[in-house]
Amino acid sequence: MKGDKNKNDTRKWTEQEASAWTGLVQAQQTLIDKVELELKKQGFPSLGWYDVLWELERTDGGILRLNDLGKRVLLDKYNVTRLAQRLEEEGLVVRGQCPNDGRGITAAITEKGRKLRKKMWPVYEKVVRENFLCKFNSKELKELSNFIERIQASGLNESLSK
Partner DNA sequence: TCCATATAGTTGCAATTGCAACTATAAATA
Partner DNA sequence: TATTTATAGTTGCAATTGCAACTATATGGA
Q: Name the site residues for DNA (rule: CB under 7 A).
A: 40, 46, 48, 65-67, 70, 76-84, 86, 95, 98, 101-106
32 binds its own copies (CB under 8 A): yes
95 φ, ψ to 5°? -95, 155
CB of 126 to DNA, least distance (A): 19
Site for its own copies contains 119 (CB under 8 A): no
Smallest distance from the beta carbon of 114 to DNA, in angstroms? Answer: 20
CB 112 within 8 A of CB 94: no
Tally Cβ neighbours within 10 Å of residue 124: 19
Residues whose CB falls within 8 Å of the CB of residue 22, separated by 6 or more in sequence, listed in order = none
**H/E stretch holding 40:** helix 15-41
Report if residue 16 touches its own copies, rule: CB under 8 A: yes
Which residues would be at the binding site for its own copies (CB under 8 A)? Answer: 8-11, 13-14, 16-17, 19-21, 23-34, 74, 121-122, 125-126, 128-136, 138, 140-145, 147-153, 155-156, 158, 162
